[in-house]
Amino acid sequence: MNARNLLTIASRLDRLGIPLIRIGVAIVFLWIGALKFVPYEADSITPFVANSPFMRFFYAHPELYHAHLTHEGQLDLAQRAWQVANHTYAFSNGLGIVEIVIGLLVLSYLFSNKLGLVGSVLAFLTPVVTLSFLITTPEAWVANLGDAQYGFPYLSGAGRLVLKDVLMLSGAVVMIADSARRVLQEDFPRN
Per-residue pLDDT, 190 = 82
Whether the ω angle into residue 138 lies within 30 degrees of 0, i.e. cis, is no
pLDDT tens per residue across span 52-86: 999 999 999 999 999 999 988 899 999 999 999 99
Sign of CA dihedral 119, 121, 124, 127: negative
Mind listing the pLDDT tens digit for each residue in 76-129? 999 999 999 999 999 999 999 999 999 999 999 999 999 999 999 999 999 999
What's the pLDDT score for residue 1? Answer: 80
How would you class 13 by CB atoms within 10 Å of its CB: exposed for 0-12, middle for 13-18, buried for 19 or more?
exposed
Q: Is the pLDDT confidence value at 134 over 90?
A: yes
Look up the pTM and report it: 0.92
The whole-number pLDDT of residue 61 equals 97
Q: 191 pLDDT exceeds 80?
A: no
Domain chopping of the chain, boundaries: 11-187
Would you say residue 170 has pLDDT above 90? yes
**Cα separation, 177 vs 155, whole angstroms:** 31
Task: Average the pLDDT over 15-31 and give the result.
Answer: 96
3-state secondary structure of 141: strand
Report the 10 Å Cβ neighbour count for 73.
6
Distance CA 116, CA 19 (A): 12
Phi, psi dihedrals of residue 141, rounded to the nearest 5°: -120, 150
CA 158 to chain centre: 13
**Tens digit of pLDDT for each residue in 33-47?**
999 999 999 999 999
Kindly tell me if the per-residue pLDDT of 28 is higher than 80: yes
